Amino acid sequence: MRKKMVAGNWKMNMTPSQAVKLAKELKPKVDTNEVDVVFCVPAIDIVPVVNELKDSGIKVGAENMFYEEKGAYTGELSPEMLIDAGVTYVIIGHSERRQYFHETDEVINKKMRKAIEHKLLPILCCGESLEQREKGVTIEFIKKQIASAFKYIPPENVINCVIAYEPIWAIGTGRVATAEQAQEVCEAIRGSIRDIYGAVVAERIRILYGGSVNAANASQIFSMPDIDGGLVGGASLKPEFADIVNYNKK
């Protein structure tokens, strides 16, 4: 049985003082053994949020990192910096980074390998555009994204990675994929992992759905057989996040 995970992606929201306030408010409501909870926060919020959550089971994630060890890369953050600051997970390949910062599949693969080398756990994002869905090439496209992201990564390092299926047309739009649409793609993603790494790895790796998850739709989406929880953007900044984490307690 895979343990469910709910990860919040705060994106470019929350100053350090706002971040501490939000973490303090959410902490008692989302600190549970039943679900792995992660707050993926802006870089400047990592240290104060780690500090605020230190006596809880909630993990902190970064929203991005660079694939080099150190040096002349102004503005970037290395995996060693993230680890030292108390980060456990790192989002890699979010569609906003692919779209606005031109991250290619090759760059994403380099980040995956570097994160794993440092024992940071990647939350790898994949997802199709509306145009691709309408053309009927969704599964083919996602399989390519997965194969490319995991290139050169050995099976023992894949088990603890997390994949987030996030259809671009559903992110921040309020237009959520149906549970069946999400399941279809998550099943195909697990199939890709099975093809590359075999059944044991495929059964263990967690696959999340992301795209307008909220308190009203979480429980239906998370009940699908290949969906192990959610990556939550907008709703992770609200008290509603606690209802998503506690989706099975209604």
Binding site for ligand PEP (CB under 6 A): 9, 166, 171-172, 210-213, 231-235
What span, in angstroms and rounded, lies between the C-alpha atoms of 107 and 99? 13
Residue with nearest beta carbon to ligand PEP? 233
What span, in angstroms and rounded, lies between the C-alpha atoms of 22 and 25? 5
- Tell the smallest beta-carbon distance from residue 215 to ligand PEP (Å): 12
- Tell the smallest beta-carbon distance from residue 69 to ligand PEP (Å): 28
Which one is catalytic: 63, 96, 128, 166? 166
Whether 128 sits among the annotated catalytic residues: the reply is: no
Q: Are 100 and 12 in contact (CB under 8 A)?
A: no
Mapped onto helix, strand or coil, the DSSP state of residue 164 is strand
Q: Are 171 and 210 in contact (CB under 8 A)?
A: yes
In the complex with ligand PEP, which residue's Cβ is closer, 35 or 213? 213
In the complex with ligand PEP, which residue's Cβ is closer, 157 or 229? 229
Which one is catalytic: 94, 96, 103, 128? 94
In the complex with ligand PEP, which residue's Cβ is closer, 60 or 202? 60
- Tell the smallest beta-carbon distance from residue 120 to ligand PEP (Å): 18
Ramachandran quadrant class, 11 (left: phi over 0; alpha: psi -120 to 50; beta: rest): left
What angle, 0 to 180 degrees and rounded to 10, lies between the N-to-C axes of helices 138-149 and 105-117? Answer: 40
What angle, 0 to 180 degrees and rounded to 10, lies between the N-to-C axes of helices 138-149 and 179-197? Answer: 40
Whether 166 sits among the annotated catalytic residues: the reply is: yes
Residue 122 carries which side chain, given as an amino acid letter? P
In the complex with ligand PEP, which residue's Cβ is closer, 27 or 94? 94
In the complex with ligand PEP, which residue's Cβ is closer, 52 or 63? 63
Burial of 221 (0-12, 13-18, 19+ CB in 10 A): buried
- Tell the smallest beta-carbon distance from residue 100 to ligand PEP (Å): 12
- Tell the smallest beta-carbon distance from residue 206 to ligand PEP (Å): 15
Which residues are known catalytic residues? 94, 166
